Structure 1
């Protein structure tokens, strides 16, 4: 039995397509339950995984750090590394069931926090590996398609300020946007030091 099994019953498992922005490890695995026989296809960087892809490494980590507002934080994160290669002739795509079995073994032997942040590391043997978050899952008649979106660098105090105030943060900043946000984040979110508050030891 899967150690991170869903509480869903087979009767409630249906074909679906939904956006699940940056789900936890447990929430992601829950969405795959009851579709074990279907191939698992991963879409990233404008392409889908080749038939020979496989999961080369799974890391479960506990982290602590300071953000640019001198705020301490701690979190757990699960990294799933995918090596995207063609494989041998007649290679078949990994099934959802095989993927869940791999995750279940990691949960038993290493330990996985269902509430941990989930990050995919995807690449082939030629390019640079990329970091991705899950953006959506589509359960189709012939496959389960997991769509990934790149993880971008960000200012955490800024992100928290936008979230607290219910404002969608810009995807890409122009120079004018950056100047405007500099004033917002400095005044409201505590990002970046000023001459009036050097003791805060902010990073910027």
Structure 2
């Protein structure tokens, strides 16, 4: 899978295909999460928002949090089947929405903590490398022909330069 938001079910399906592989996460070009990482939690976040056009939006995200200990504890990352055991433990306690969008949360001393999308799964020898793609801010109103709450076709009026002695007043059109 590539360049699209992955569902929780699709993410698990990918992992289940490669249970014996070593699970690696690439968070930037040629940068892997340290092999001694831990999956510290898996959280389900139902989100309700109102966009700038006044429309209510709702979706669910499942966030897998990775933590890199300060001291490297091992030189080999966990196998996929160990990660799946953690998933099973979580799912034995809470019902995770299979259609939720998956994000991986990670940061270290060189990389500010952020949530990223699993972009693609790459088989590299014994490793299953999940290439992460940063999230991006977007205007949801553009789906409805709006640009941040205003119609796309609206043109902005640019005020004519003021002559000496004129001042800008509220409602005067210059601000």
Superimposed CA distance per residue, residues 176-197 of structure 1 (whole angstroms, 9 cap, x where no aligned partner) = xxxxx959x73259xxxxxxxx
Counterparts of 1:55-66 in structure 2, within 5 Å, are 55-66=39-50
Aligned length: 151
1:54 corresponds to: 38
1:99 aligns with 2:63: no
TM-score by structure 2 length? 0.76
The runs of 5 or more residues in structure 1 that have no matched partner are 1-17, 163-180, 190-204
The within-5 A match list for 1:116-135 is 116-124=100-108, 127-135=111-119
Residue 39 of structure 1 pairs with residue 22 of structure 2: yes
* Structure 1 stretches of at least 4 aligned residues deviating more than 4 Å after TM superposition: none
1:73 equivalent to 2:68? Answer no
Equivalent residue, structure 2, for 1:84? 68
* Cα separation, 2, equivalents of 1:104 and 1:33: 12
**Which protein shows a greater Rg?**
2
How does 1:55-204 map onto structure 2 within 5 Å? 55-85=39-69, 87-88=72-73, 90-124=74-108, 127-158=111-142, 160=143, 182=147, 186-187=150-151
Q: How far apart in 2 are the matches of 1:93 and 1:139?
A: 15
Aligned residue for 1:169?
Answer: none
Determine helix, strand or coil for the equivalent of 2:92.
helix
| Kept after mapping to 2: 8 A contact 1:83/1:125 | no
What is the TM-score normalised by the length of structure 1? 0.66
State the Cα distance separating 1:156 from its structure 2 match.
1.0
Superposition deviation, residue 139 in structure 1? 2.4
Q: What's the C-alpha RMSD, in Å, of the aligned pairs?
A: 2.4
